[in-house]
Structure 1
Amino acid sequence: MLSLTDQEIDRISSQLLKGMVCFFQIDKRKIHQMPDDEDYFNYDLTPEEEDILDEIDANPDNYAEFTKMEISQEHQIMQDFIDRQVKERNLAEDLVNALTKPKSLTAFKFLIDESKYKDQWQEYRKGKYRDWVREQVDGFNYAED
């Protein structure tokens, strides 16, 4: 059964927020991160990263993979943040409107970074990502049963 410390959860969630994918090596309790190939398809892996991927392919049961949220999940936490935290009606409307745009994540970030809610948003999002990592641990443990 996989269990992570709060420190490991924090480290994984921080890497996911940076656009990385993480692999937790169960026997050594080591976290490996590398760019998510969906976001960095032109990225050339380092020899170390290639070695890690080869080891994962050779021994997949010794690794748990952690991925970032899907766009729809990100949108939902943004909407929840707006509903629960943003008190100014005009800003809330602007943020909701930003979520309907083609580059919604960028538009939302631009607006929130220029507001008094920037720090609150970052903490809220970090908390949601910690929960997301815990959900993935639960999913990993469920799949093993």
Structure 2
Amino acid sequence: MMDFSKYPKELIKSIAEEIDMGMICFLNTDTLEVESVLGESYNACDDFEDFYQEVYDKVDNWVNVIRIEPLQSWQSFKIMEDFIETCISDDDSIKKRLWNAISKSKPFQNFKFIIDDSQYRQCWFDFKQSKLEQLVLAELCPPDMEL
């Protein structure tokens, strides 16, 4: 079994929260320092490149760094599907509504509209956070990596 103790739970949680907001995270694996910059979803804002230049310069000087990207839309969609499949009972009418919502245009908006006004809201946040943390761990500790 792999030892993940090199990466504190709070660090994993923090990176997961950052990528959930669309940020790109850089982790210095020697010091466990994290720096974040806006991800590609913010590309329309050219001024941010200059704003984050200091961060880019700092990260360029790190010897051992891991770059963790925000989720692609297909990954976020898969998390929604997994949530519907595993966390909602088949006999609950909201399950069918959610499947229907994500099968139409604007699936993320539709899903959010339904889930935010349901008893599953907190369950969704917890599920999504857990999945994000698993993805961060997978980035930090690929299967072939020894800690």
Superposed pair shares fold, TM > 0.5: yes
SS of equivalent residue, structure 1 residue 39: helix
1:67 pairs with one of 53, 66, 69: 69
User: How far off its partner does 1:115 sit?
Assistant: 0.6
> Could you tell which deviates more after superposition, 10-19 or 47-56?
47-56
Distance in 2 between residues matched to 1:12 and 1:141, nearest whole Å: 22
From 41, 44, 48, the counterpart of 1:42:
44
- Cα deviation code 1:19-75 (max 9, x no counterpart): 111111223321111210x2101222275621221343x446421111122222222
Quote the offset at 1:139 in angstroms: 3.1
C-alpha distance in 1, partners of 2:50/2:8? 29
Asked whether the equivalents of residues 64 and 140 of structure 1 are also in contact (C-alpha less than 8 Å), the reply is: no
Aligned runs of 1:37-116 on 2, under 5 Å?
38-43=40-45, 44-45=47-48, 49-56=52-59, 58-59=60-61, 61-87=63-89, 88-116=91-119
TM-score (norm 1): 0.83
Matching of residues 121-132 of structure 1 within 5 Å: 121-132=124-135
- Gap change, CA 1:45 and 1:28, over 3 Å in 2: farther
Identify the structure with the greater helix proportion.
1
The Cα shift of 1:108 comes to 0.7
What CA distance in whole angstroms lies between the structure 2 residues aligned with 1:69 and 1:42? 18
| Number of matched pairs | 140
- Superposed, 1:124-143 pairs within 5 Å as 124-139=127-142, 142=145
1:32 aligned counterpart, secondary structure: strand
Task: Give, in angstroms, the shift of residue 130 of structure 1.
Answer: 0.6
SS state at 2:133 partner = helix
Quick one: which of 1, 21, 24 aligns to 1:18? 21
TM-score normalised by the chain length of structure 2: 0.82
Distance in structure 2 (CA, Å) of the matches to 1:99 and 1:61: 43
Task: Render the CA deviation track for 1:87-106: whole Å, top value 9, x for unaligned.
Answer: 35431111111212222111
Quick one: distance in 1 between partners of 2:144 and 2:33? 18
Against the structure 1 CA distance between its residues 26 and 138, is the aligned structure 2 distance closer, same or farther, given a 3 Å change threshold?
A: closer
Q: 1:26 to 1:47 in 2, by over 3 A?
A: farther
The runs of 5 or more residues in structure 2 that have no matched partner are none
In the alignment, the residues of structure 2 paired with residue 67 and residue 46 of structure 1 have an alpha-carbon distance, to the nearest angstrom, of 16
Q: Distance in 1 between matches of 2:139 and 2:63?
A: 15
